Amino acid sequence: MSQQAVNGVSHRGKVLTLDSMNPNVKRVEYAVRGPIVQRAVQIEKELKEGVKKPFTEVIKANIGDAHAMGQKPITFLRQVLALCSYPELLEDNMFPEDAKKRARRILESCGGHSIGAYSASQGIECIRQDVARYIERRDGGIPSSPDNIYLSTGASDAIVTMLKLLVCGEGRSRTGVMISIPQYPLYSAALADLGAVQISYYLDEDKCWSLDVAELRRALNAARQHCNPRVLCIINPGNPTGQVQSRQCIEDVIRFAKEEHLFLMADEVYQDNVYAEGCKFHSFKKVLFEMGPEYSSTVEMASFHSTSKCYMGECGFRGGYMEVINMDPEVKAQLTKLVSVRLCPPVPGQALLDLVVNPPQPDEPSYTTFMKERTAVLAALAEKARLTEETFNTVPGITCNPVQGAMYTFPRITLPQKAIDKAKEEGQVPDMYYCMRLLEEEGICLVPGSGFGQREGTFHFRMTILPPTEKLKVVLQKIREFHLRFTQEFS
């Protein structure tokens, strides 16, 4: 007799159970906030409660969360946000005039002059204008229209919305979406949720995680047997792999997309995070337009940007935008309708985005401080990118490509066969076992490579390079010691 019947409660079981829930949701996986992070949070609680550990704090290097790692907010951005939140401060003398000017302009474009009003679903018009002008400056004058800009709740929101528009068909006609392996798991999660077919193309680890069109073609041809490939997703600079694509590579990808009739999704949220000498960010849009009208008037594309990364790292505000190019006007109307159901992206995030695309100018009072803060963040990241690569490459059993851009390293780890066997015994994939051990023994939280995808038989982890330099040195040293100890243990 069941417990419920014992209590005299008639019971048919729950309406919503693991068996009766949306099966697509069950297939969703998001390693960046997966079981290892849950365990990290638990350990933090245990430390607070006084449980003795071999370390005194957990360092969460699992996610690109700059402020959580101690990076200070950029003064100008926060001054304007405070002014927008409490416009009475506009009367105060403590804020510079350019901050007040920006705040007034944003407030004037809000309903009732309040960031508490809903905005247009596509985003506040004057901010979309500023975004378009930013893109034009970035791309050497190639025109951008505010009508093609959609503000969003972080880049993730826009990426999922765009994928949702593109997915249709059943069985062999089901939409296939090409994503890199390793990938940022938002993509695989969104595809699982939408019931779309994931088409994996592999980045070449031996060539600094570069993208090879022959590999794109191999993956595409294989996929054509069982689905309808329609979309090609690119992350540049790369997450989790940190590579920065060459102009030539981007041109090849665009040519491939056109030949194969694919919609291009260019995830360019790390466009200001380029560190390696000789590397430069080239936007897909700029390259597309430089390839001439045969391309620029036909290839359909969406490009994504965010306020969460770059020098500002304002993840909590969930600001972002996408620009759509060559999108069918009828589809654009459908997109506008779709985003209107959620009413609007958070207005504080929209305001923040406005400041990012329209920062202080040389003749404005906040310019010097702003530039000093911005440069300091980016210079420190460049230093940490170099430090990370160098240190890892001194460890036998770890090989690490240069962190050319973004905020992560994705080093390859060689695991002894005995460790692989041990992991299987414990019912874990080997790199999860490795990362869990590292967490328990050193208090460092990384994400196993299996959460991003990797070639069969290879193992990696993703680590952000965001901890402050002195702390990063400690982290790298601890991983080094752990790796040697771990390898020793299973040799």
Please list every residue from 6 through 35 that binds its own copies, using CB under 8 A. Answer: 7-12, 14-18, 20-23, 25-26, 28-30, 32-34
Separation between Cα atoms, residue 220 and residue 224, nearest integer Å: 6
What minimum distance in Å lies between the beta carbon of 475 and its own copies? 16
- Cα-trace Rg, the chain: 24
- Which of 214, 278, 341, 362 forms a contact with its own copies (CB under 8 A)? 341
CB of 193 to its own copies, least distance (A): 8
Closest C-alpha to 104, from 136, 79, 121, 129: 79
For tokens 């001194």, the residue is: 394
Q: Distance between CA atoms of 285 and 326, rounded to whole angstroms? A: 11
Closest separation in Å from C-beta 321 to its own copies: 15
306 binds its own copies (CB under 8 A): no
Nearer CB in complex with its own copies: 9/214: 9
Minimum gap (Å) between residue 439 Cβ and its own copies: 17
User: 274-313 burial string, b = 16+ CB within 10 Å, else e?
Assistant: bbbeebebbbbbbbbbbbeeebbeebbbbbbbbbbbbbbb
- Measured distance CA(170)–CA(196) in Å, rounded: 9
User: How many residues make contact with its own copies (CB under 8 A)?
Assistant: 106
Residue of 36, 186, 382, 444 interacting with its own copies (CB under 8 A): 186
- Of 218, 226, 247, 261, the one binding its own copies (CB under 8 A) is 261
Site for its own copies, residues 343 to 362, rule: CB under 8 A: 343-349
> Measured from the CB of residue 414, what is the shortest distance to its own copies in angstroms?
30
- Kindly identify the residues of this chain, within the stretch 34-63, that bind its own copies according to CB under 8 A: 34, 41, 63
* Piece in contact with its own copies (CB under 8 A), picked from 76-84, 210-218, 367-375, 444-452: 76-84
The answer to whether 469 contacts its own copies (rule: CB under 8 A) is: no
Binding its own copies (rule: CB under 8 A), the pick from 134, 209, 263, 434 is 263
Residue 104 interacting with its own copies (CB under 8 A): no
221-240 mask for its own copies (x: CB under 8 A)? ---------xx---------
Q: Which stretch binds its own copies (CB under 8 A): 215-223, 243-251, 341-349, 373-381?
A: 341-349
CB of 188 to its own copies, least distance (A): 10
Whole-angstrom distance, CA of residue 430 vs CA of residue 448: 9
Among the listed residues 39, 53, 67, 471, the single contact to its own copies using CB under 8 A: 67
Determine, following the binding rule CB under 8 A, whether residue 421 of this chain makes contact with its own copies: no
Q: By C-beta, is 8 or 457 nearer to its own copies?
A: 8
Interface residue with its own copies among 116, 140, 143, 396 (CB under 8 A) is: 116
Let me know: does 462 contact 409? Beta carbons within 8 Å.
yes
Least distance in Å: CB of 59 to its own copies?
Answer: 12
What does each C-alpha distance from 429 to 30, 56, 421, 433, 437 come to in angstroms? 15, 28, 10, 6, 12
| Residues of this chain, 374-393, that bind its own copies according to CB under 8 A | none
At closest approach, how far in Å is the CB of 8 from its own copies?
8
Q: Does 481 bind its own copies (CB under 8 A)?
A: no
Nearer to its own copies, 56 or 93 (CB): 93
Beta carbon nearer to its own copies, 331 or 379:
331
What's the CA gap between 255 and 232, in Å, rounded? Answer: 12
* Choice between 392 and 452, CB closer to its own copies: 452
State the residue for tokens 């990362």. 435
Of positions 36, 177, 178, 189, contacts its own copies by CB under 8 A: 189
Provide, rounded to whole angstroms, the least separation between the CB of residue 323 and its own copies. 15
Residue type, 333: A
Span near its own copies by CB under 8 A; candidates 155-163, 355-363, 430-438, 439-447: 155-163
Shortest distance, CB of residue 22 to its own copies, whole angstroms? 5
CB nearer its own copies, residue 307 or residue 404: 307
